[in-house]
């Protein structure tokens, strides 16, 4: 099986899990958004930590030249990943606050 297809299937399953358990949360939109936010923070945060570790190891073991360029690229990717994870968590919090101001939402 193609690795890209396998990755997309796995990503879809991970992101759709909160919607499958939404019935247990009385199908509240706030609960679904909060679960998606929490799962994205868990998965994205884990990937970011791995990215920082890999970038650090590459940077420490590089002796200059082409390996140094690869290490700098990995470091920039880790910084961008960290910013994206922080922005996704913030977006989830903003969505929950916005939905929570409705009368019928059932948000706490």
Question: For the segment 6-38, what is each residue's pLDDT rounded down to a tens digit?
Answer: 888 887 877 776 666 655 554 567 777 777 788
Q: Would you call 12 exposed, middle or buried from its count of C-beta atoms within 10 A (0-12, 13-18, 19+)? A: exposed
* 19 alpha-carbon distance from chain centroid: 16
Is 53 inside any structural domain?
yes
Provide the pLDDT for residue 54: 93
Number of independent structural domains in the chain: 1
Tell me if 75 sits within 8 A of 59, measured CB to CB: yes
Is 79 inside any structural domain?
yes
Residues 6+ apart with CB under 8 A from 12: none
3-state secondary structure at position 100: helix
Report the C-alpha gap between 49 and 88 in whole angstroms: 16
Report the C-alpha gap between 67 and 96 in whole angstroms: 43
Is 78 inside any structural domain?
yes
Report residue 51 as tokens: 């990215």
Provide the pLDDT for residue 52: 94
Is 107 inside any structural domain?
no
Provide the pLDDT for residue 50: 92
pTM over 0.75: no
Show the domain range for 21: 3-100
Is 38 inside any structural domain?
yes
Query: Considering only CA atoms, which of 15, 64, 9 is closest in space to residue 38?
Result: 15
Question: For the segment 41-80, what is each residue's pLDDT rounded down to a tens digit?
Answer: 888 889 899 999 999 999 999 888 888 899 899 999 999 9
Is 15 inside any structural domain?
yes
Provide the pLDDT for residue 27: 52
Provide the pLDDT for residue 53: 94
Q: Judge whether residue 96 has pLDDT over 80.
A: no
Is 49 inside any structural domain?
yes
Is 29 inside any structural domain?
yes
């Amino acid at each position: 099986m193609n690795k890209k297809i396998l990755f997309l299937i796995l990503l879809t399953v991970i992101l759709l899990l909160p919607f499958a358990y939404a019935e247990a949360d009385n199908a509240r939109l706030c609960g679904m958004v909060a679960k998606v936010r929490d799962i994205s923070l868990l998965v994205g945060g884990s990937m970011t930590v791995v990215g920082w570790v890999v970038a650090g190891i590459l940077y420490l073991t590089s002796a200059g030249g082409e390996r140094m360029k690869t290490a700098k690229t990995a470091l920039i990717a880790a910084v961008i990943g960290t910013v994206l994870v922080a922005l996704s968590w913030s977006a989830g919090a903003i969505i929950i606050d916005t939905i929570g101001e409705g009368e019928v939402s059932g948000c706490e």
